[in-house]
Structure formats: structure tokens, C-alpha cells
Chain A
């Protein structure tokens, strides 16, 4: 019994460790994205190109935060995901409206 627990515990630790490795890779990628974002702005590229890319980079970073750092990729996150996406939908409508519908 005790041995069994031990095996289980060791397996769990190993799994956690592997996940932690993934997290560090995620972190490295986020640093890279941030550098690209700041670099693009400093390089004075065309606005039409930079702004969409900046927004995509931000969205990907947020996805990393949610799915890896906040573990939304794990089981049992169906309801959190549903509510975050619903919130994101309302958020999107709000931002869209306030940025295009105000100055007529």
C-alpha cells in the first residue's frame, strides 16, 4: 500500500515536472513575442502592418497565459472556459462599439 502511494506520488511529481518544463518554454515564447512587439514599434514599420500584428501577438500571449499558466488546458475547465469566452465576447462587442461608434 505504502509502496503503491509512493509510485503514484513519483508519477505525479514526474508529470508535474514535465508540465513545468512546458511552462518555461511558454514563458520563453512570451518573452520572444514581447521583444518582437517592442522591436516592431521601435523599427518604425508601417502602421497598417504593425497594429494587426501587435494585436495578434497580444492575443496569442493571452492564450498562453490562460491555457498554460492558468491551466485552462487541464480537465475540469469547461465552465471556466465557457465563461471566459462569453466574457471575451461581451468585451469584444464593448470595445468594438466604443472604438468605432462614438464619434459620429
Chain B
């Protein structure tokens, strides 16, 4: 593909799907998210099965405080909006603004991750609650940890894209890459909605 076709003067309406490669990436990534749905469902199912198996260790009600979870929810939810802003600017071909909003997304994501690490640290050292404490502990850390792992991977991914393309700007080769990274980021928020509902809110009721 020549430079010209990949670097049009104005972005087409759906820059993420303007090339065959883009179309394939777009579809393939959505399908992957369909698979991820089952992956997280298996983890949620396991958690629900084991949520009362505290083995005389600390349970959900004693452990979870809602303040931190509320802050984390707000951070991640806002980062979802900022990545929507980034995609909005991608469609308008304003690369600088896209990078700016992606940068804000990354900062919010880092904030979320920091809170999660603090929470885990507090449980492990403050409450003595670990993966090995009980089946409940195993299920909790695995479910929330898998989500945290997704957040970490998403952050590394977005940062890599930002750094790689900082100098050359937006084109039809990298537009699909940015787009699917933002889809991934939204999916992380989808999972978090269920985590704060099922694990934290339903845990302390």
C-alpha cells in the first residue's frame, strides 16, 4: 500500500475500517472480546461459588470498604469517557488532541492501578488476607487480579502506541490500532462495572 492511500488529507468516516487490514482487526478484536466475556464469566462464576468459603478467615463484609472502590470506579469510568474523546479527535484527524486525551486516559488508568495495588497491599499486610488464606481469597485475587492484569496490559499497549506514533501522526495504518486499543479499554470498564457490583457492593450488603 502506498503512502498516499494510507495518508489521506482528511480521515474517512470510519478510519478504523477504511482498509481491509483495519476491517479485519476491527472484527477480530470484537470477536476476541466475545471470548473474553466467557473468560471473565468463568472467573465470576468461580467467585460466586466460593464467596462464602472464607475458611474462618476474613470475609467480604469485614474486608471491603466502599470509599476506595468508589474512587476507583470514578477513575475508570472517566477514563472510558476520555478514550471516547480520543477516538472523537481521531475521526476529526486532530492527532495532537487525540494524544492528549489518550494521555489523560493513561493517567486515570494509572490512578486506578495505584488504588488497586494499595488495596491489595492493605489486605495482605494489614489484614493478612492472601491468595492462600481461603478459597474465597483465591477467587477474589484471581478475579480482581485478572482485571488488574488487563488494565496493566491496556496501559502498556496504549503507551506503546502513543510513543511509537508520536512523530509521524495519524494514518490509516495506525488508526485501527488506536481504535481497537480503545475498544479494549472500554471492555475493561465493562468488566469493572460487574466487579464493583458483584464483588464489592453485593459483598458488603
A interface residues, Cβ below 8 angstroms from B: 5, 9, 12-13, 16, 19-20, 23-24, 27, 30-31, 34, 37-38, 41-42, 47, 50-51, 54-55, 57-58, 61-62, 65-66, 69-70, 76-77, 79-80, 83-84, 86-88, 90-92, 94-95, 97-99, 102-103
* Chain A residues, Cβ within 8 Å of B81: 23-24, 27, 69
- Please indicate which of the listed interface residues A5, A12, A47, A77 has the most CB atoms of chain B within 10 Å of its own CB: A12
Would A83 and B80 count as touching, CB distance under 8 A? no
A42→B41 CA distance, assembly (Å): 27
- The residue on B at minimum CB distance from A23 is B84
Q: In terms of DSSP, what is the predominant structure of the interface of chain A?
A: helix
* Chain A residues, Cβ within 8 Å of B27: 79-80
Would A91 and B38 count as touching, CB distance under 8 A? yes
Partner pick for A37 among B9, B14, B197, CB 8 A cutoff: B197
Would A50 and B205 count as touching, CB distance under 8 A? yes
* Chain A residues, Cβ within 8 Å of B196: 37
Number of interface residues of B (CB under 8 A): 49
Q: In terms of DSSP, what is the predominant structure of the interface of chain B?
A: helix
- The residue on B at minimum CB distance from A55 is B197
Q: B49 at the A/B interface (Cβ < 8 Å)?
A: yes
